[in-house]
Structure 1
Amino acid sequence: MFLDPSWRILTVGDGDLSFSHAIARHIKPTKLVASTYDDANTIEQKYANNALSALQQLNVTTLTEFDVTKPDSWLRLVDARFDVVIFQFPLIPAFKGEAAFKANTQQGGMNVLNRALLHRYLDYASQFALDKNGPMLCYITSKDVKPYREWNIEGSLNQGLNCHYLGQMPFDINLFPGYKIRNVDRDKHVKDTSGITYVFSEKTDNNITAKLTLPAYLGDKHCALCRVGPYMAQEDENKHLLSKKHKQMEKFEQDWQAWLAQNNEE
């Protein structure tokens, strides 16, 4: 992940705030605002080694109870504007009980809910947080394993938005000493799974593109949904399109298109 120290940076969904603290200590950006979904008491109770007080000691503005899916949260930024907004390893937490699960998945399963979370993040970050005179970057860092790679982040996630997928770059946790990738809702951190930072912006003519790559599976003779290819022959493609894996990915995509249509965001 590339971060320019001259940038104004906003982090969102930073559970224990250790990522924001690592940025403050090791990147030392011009401006940093950190935010997290939980309230201060929950952070202290959930994460024994959180960075809330450490950020306060560094005079870093920290916003708790910041929900990226709610415009009211973004409006708390008032007139603050940023060059990049970063969402690290987003994931909707599991619902407690069958009733809660059914109530929250009426418009699709967990795959759709996670896509909707990121779709709204891209939308609201562009609307409310990014400076129109800057690079207007949205970063999403995610794991390169299931179920995360099934969200089609580089495909239809931004459909209906003015925010374009520019490319991606590897995320190296070693550049952020002290950062712990947390399990959602638990005071445990996960092993350093391979991470990819996907980069979006309303501006396609962007200096950051020189540091990004486009994966081969977005090219010809590949299946971008399943990230497979290249096909050696038409027979290979036909076989893949009939596979269980591809059928499942098609169903995820159909559910996502239905969500977009129902929410008037297509």
Structure 2
Amino acid sequence: MKLDKQWRILTVGDGDLSFSLALSAQFPPSQLTASIYDSKQVVTEKYAKNSLHQLQSNQYTVLTEFDVTLESSWQKLAKQSIDVVIFQFPLIPAFDNYHDFKQQTYSVNTLNRRLLRLFIYYAHKYVLDPEGPMLCIITSKDVKPYCEWDLESSLLIGLDINYLGQSPFNISDFPGYKIRNVDRDKHVKDTSGISYVWSAKTHSQDLPHLKLPHYLDANHCSFCRAGPFLTERDKLAHNNSKKHKNMLLHHQNWQAYLKVESL
């Protein structure tokens, strides 16, 4: 993840705020706004070591109870006042009980895709400045369930926004940043991450560090990140595999959601 020192940054869903604190070493308060999903009380109870007080005492703005799926949260910010919005290792919270899970209309896979699609959509609608690069960055893991969200293709269906590419995320570039469990005070193992980038404006040639993965090329399966297929028999065997059928089901569920979505 490469960030220009002149950009105005908004972080969302930053758990214990350690990522925002790491960014504060690079950006002054006028260029960095942090936000978390939890209330002030919840974040202090959930994470024994959190950076809320430190950021606020250093004059950084921290928005609490910021839900990226709600327009009202985005409207807390000045319109078109941000250059880059960053969402680190997003994941919907676990359901409190089995009953709540069974009451859901959509699968967990669909709900995670919806979270990220609304993040990208509302960021562009409300806060990204057309005079800037207009970047949405999501850093995620290349393991299940994250790699099953079809980040590169599915989130933008019907939106006038482009997937620009991706780059490895190097946590050592952000000293003090700890990846936390979404529901409790636990440090998650620092597995390798990938930063994915979208924009309604900027083209990939303006960000040469971004690369398009090979599985988006022809003769590959972008759903499963598989290929290239050397023969039609190889492709057919893949299409009949359990993995592909599972990914196809995720895609069909996502298509069903998009048919009733109202953006």
Coarse TM-score class (shorter-chain normalised): over 0.9
* Alpha-carbon distance between aligned partners in 1 of 2:29 and 2:41, rounded to the nearest angstrom: 28
Any stretches of 5+ residues in structure 1 without a counterpart? none
1:26 is displaced (CA, Å) by 3.8
Any stretches of 5+ residues in structure 2 without a counterpart? none
Is the Cα–Cα contact under 8 Å of residues 5 and 30 in structure 1 kept in the other structure? no
SS at match of 1:174: helix
Number of corresponding residues: 263
- Aligned CA distance change for structure 1 residues 208 and 51 (closer, same or farther; 3 Å): farther
* Alpha-carbon distance between aligned partners in 1 of 2:78 and 2:132, rounded to the nearest angstrom: 18
Question: Which runs of structure 1 show a deviation greater than 6 angstroms over 4 or more consecutive aligned residues?
Answer: none
* Alpha-carbon distance between aligned partners in 2 of 1:66 and 1:74, rounded to the nearest angstrom: 8
Residue 234 of structure 1 pairs with residue 232 of structure 2: yes
- With normalisation by structure 1, the TM-score equals 0.95
1:195 corresponds to: 193
Q: Which amino acid aligns with 2:124?
A: S
SS at match of 1:184: coil
SS at match of 1:6: coil
Match runs of 1:73-222 below 5 Å: 73-79=73-79, 81-103=81-103, 105-106=104-105, 108-205=106-203, 208-222=206-220
* Alpha-carbon distance between aligned partners in 1 of 2:28 and 2:77, rounded to the nearest angstrom: 20
1:235 is displaced (CA, Å) by 1.0
Deviations 1:194-249 (A, max 9, x none): 10010000014356431200000000121100001111221111100000000000
Is the Cα–Cα contact under 8 Å of residues 14 and 87 in structure 1 kept in the other structure? yes
Is the Cα–Cα contact under 8 Å of residues 18 and 50 in structure 1 kept in the other structure? yes
SS at match of 1:210: coil
1:164 is displaced (CA, Å) by 0.9
RMSD: 1.4
* Alpha-carbon distance between aligned partners in 2 of 1:79 and 1:242, rounded to the nearest angstrom: 48
Between the two proteins, what is the percent identity of the paired residues? 55
* Alpha-carbon distance between aligned partners in 1 of 2:54 and 2:206, rounded to the nearest angstrom: 31
* Alpha-carbon distance between aligned partners in 2 of 1:100 and 1:88, rounded to the nearest angstrom: 26
Match runs of 1:17-96 below 5 Å: 17-28=17-28, 31-79=31-79, 81-96=81-96
1:225 corresponds to: 223
Deviations 1:13-69 (A, max 9, x none): 001000000000145586000000000011110001100011012211000000000
* Alpha-carbon distance between aligned partners in 1 of 2:16 and 2:93, rounded to the nearest angstrom: 15
- With normalisation by structure 2, the TM-score equals 0.96
